[in-house]
Amino acid sequence: MHDQTIVFKSSDLQEQSLGLRFDLPQLGEHATGFVIRFETKPYAYVNQCAHMPVELDWNEGKFFTVDKTFIICATHGAQYAPETGRCIAGPCKGKQLQPLAVTEKNNKVTIHLDSLVDALKKQSPKT
């Protein structure tokens, strides 16, 4: 049984700066997720490009474009809207990062994995 929540200190998640990565063993041995802060709010996604199944960040935590307005995949440059995870430019335009529920309260950013776990259970009822 894996933890259903991941918690970071709010102060560790800076506005339009480096994202924080975390493991997602629910999705496989090497799967990761990430959380970024954009226009004061945290947003979390599975760290897998909608174009090909690779992580977005070659340099750990570098998820933003140079102008800090979009999330970018380092492999072929797909760009995603930080608030929705929707790809707005690049080879997977119109597709979507997989969002993870995230809340912020009492100086803590919490990623909630229950919805991810529920979705996985529906996909493979044997687990």
| CB-nearer residue toward ligand FES: 13 or 49 | 49
Q: Which two tokens stand for residue 7?
A: 């918690």
List, as one string, the DSSP characters of 8-69: EEGGGS-BTS--EEEE-GGG-TT-EEEEEEETTEEEEEES--SSSSS-S-SSTT--B-TTSS
Q: How far is the CB of 106 from ligand FES (least distance, A)?
A: 35
The DSSP code for 119 is: H
> One symbol per residue from 54 to 73: x for binding ligand FES (CB under 6 A), - otherwise; what is it?
x------------------x
Q: Are the C-beta atoms of residues 47 and 20 closer than 8 Å to each other? A: no
> One symbol per residue from 66 to 105: x for binding ligand FES (CB under 6 A), - otherwise; what is it?
-------x-xxxx-----------xx--------------
Residues touching ligand FES, count (CB under 6 A): 11
Would you tell me which residues interact with ligand FES (CB under 6 A)? Answer: 49, 51-52, 54, 73, 75-78, 90-91
